[in-house]
Amino acid sequence: MRVLGIETSCDETGIAIYDTEKGLLSHALYSQVKLHADYGGVVPELASRDHVRKTLPLIRKALVDANLTAKDIDGVAYTSGPGLIGALLVGATIGRSLAFGWNVPAVGVHHMEGHLLAPMLEDNKPEFPFVALLVSGGHTQLVQVDGIGEYTLLGESVDDAAGEAFDKTAKLLGLDYPGGPRLAALADSGVAGRFVFPRPMTDKPGLNFSFSGLKTAAAQAIAKNGKDKQTQADIARAFQDAVVDTLIIKCQRALEQTGFTRLVVAGGVSANVRLRSMLEETMRKRGGEVFYPRSEFCTDNGAMIAVAGAQRLAAKQTADLSVKVRPRWPLTDLAPL
């Protein structure tokens, strides 16, 4: 089965074609970073308009790159939530319309299930069951995964997501949008230990997260110590270390609670080099294994939607002719395969 995947949940237009026998055939991505940079964050209306302009040309490109035509597509998968409602409607409307015109089934995909299944694009695929850390600009969640659609929420952020806290702290440091990757790069030249920030909620039982207080601690350090280059780098290092340590502590608790030995880490923040190296060391010591998608599939992309959609379509789960999106959509609402 060849599935066209369409991702338009926020500020990146992602298109891919996935073959259930041959794997990923093509993928194309357009980032709106330059469009939103002047505003310091995503402007929903501008994002929606840009998806309108970019989605169809990228679909044509993906077909050409895969040496396919519309007649070769067996199904269409599109992100139907969670995300920005206008952006979601663009991808859902185009995806459902193409499926109708091509006379193939369509399915709306949960954005976070796409991230969760993104490691399935790699040669070294995780086997079920595993614990998943979904960590991005909008979500920080620990999920027990017993199979596709068999999800138990173990913990989540009660305020800012980790990626959101990265972006907000980067803005306080005067870094350009998108701030998260820029803060991580700045942290590389920071001196460890000059600043020490709290590891929030690690002194309490449970698997929930909170990053707003950590952001406040960083803001106070910036206000008190100025913004010379080295101080910025040292604060960035302290902030990143606090986030990484917090995530690792919670992951270990989740593994102990479930008894699982496999950990999947996905979402935009999973591309963070410091987080990856520390988690790999942690899992090695535990005798377990950690799985990631490659860096280009950590952020929003069409390949993860095509993979997740292919699983749903193979199980005969399809969308009707109406266009439905869910800006808020709990992962645990999904039906098991």
DSSP string, 144-193: EEEETTEEEEEEEBSSS-HHHHHHHHHHHTTPPSSHHHHHHHHHTTSPTT
Give the pLDDT score at 137. 86
Q: Please check whether residues 321 and 188 belong to one and the same domain.
A: no
Q: Does some domain include residue 123?
A: no
Q: Please check whether residues 153 and 279 belong to one and the same domain.
A: yes
Give the pLDDT score at 227. 77
The answer on whether 137 is annotated among ligand-binding residues is yes
CA-nearest of 212, 221, 207, 219 to 243 is 212
Q: Does some domain include residue 316?
A: yes
> Which residue shows structure tokens 């694009």?
121
Q: Please check whether residues 185 and 258 belong to one and the same domain.
A: yes
The answer on whether 115 is annotated among ligand-binding residues is yes
304-331 per-residue burial string, b: 16 or more CB within 10 A, e: under 16: bbbbbbbbbbeeebebeeebebbeebeb
Average pLDDT, the chain: 97
Q: Does some domain include residue 31?
A: yes
Helix (H, G, I), strand (E, B) or coil at 291: strand
The answer on whether 51 is annotated among ligand-binding residues is no
Q: Please check whether residues 19 and 157 belong to one and the same domain.
A: no
Give the pLDDT score at 300. 97
Look at the pTM and tell me if it is higher than 0.85: yes
List the chain residues with pLDDT less than 70. Answer: none
Domain range for residue 214?
A: 128-292
Question: How would you class 181 by CB atoms within 10 Å of its CB: exposed for 0-12, middle for 13-18, buried for 19 or more?
Answer: middle
Helix (H, G, I), strand (E, B) or coil at 299: coil
Q: Please check whether residues 138 and 286 belong to one and the same domain.
A: yes
Q: Please check whether residues 102 and 134 belong to one and the same domain.
A: no
Q: Does some domain include residue 64?
A: yes
Q: Please check whether residues 62 and 35 belong to one and the same domain.
A: yes
Q: Please check whether residues 177 and 265 belong to one and the same domain.
A: yes
Q: Does some domain include residue 287?
A: yes
Q: Please check whether residues 13 and 79 belong to one and the same domain.
A: yes
Q: Are 17 and 66 spatial neighbours (Cβ–Cβ below 8 Å)?
A: yes
Give the pLDDT score at 226. 75
Q: Report the CATH number that the domain containing residue 103 is assigned in CATH.
A: 3.30.420.40
Q: Please check whether residues 301 and 288 belong to one and the same domain.
A: no
Q: How many domains does the chain have?
A: 2
The answer on whether 97 is annotated among ligand-binding residues is no
Q: Does some domain include residue 151?
A: yes
Token pair recorded at residue 256: 């102990």
Give the pLDDT score at 232. 96
The answer on whether 50 is annotated among ligand-binding residues is no
The answer on whether 124 is annotated among ligand-binding residues is no
pLDDT in tens, 160-184: 999 999 999 999 999 998 999 999 9
Q: Does some domain include residue 9?
A: yes
Give the pLDDT score at 14. 98
Q: Does some domain include residue 122?
A: no
Q: Please check whether residues 152 and 236 belong to one and the same domain.
A: yes
The answer on whether 243 is annotated among ligand-binding residues is no
pLDDT in tens, 184-199: 999 999 999 999 999 9
pLDDT in tens, 29-39: 999 999 999 99
pLDDT in tens, 91-130: 999 999 999 999 999 999 999 999 999 999 999 999 999 9
CA distance 70 to 313: 18
Q: Please check whether residues 24 and 169 belong to one and the same domain.
A: no
Give, in order, the Cα–Cα distances in Å from 8 to each of 82, 96, 238, 246, 311: 10, 13, 34, 30, 20
Measured between its terminal Cα atoms, the distance across the chain in Å is 17
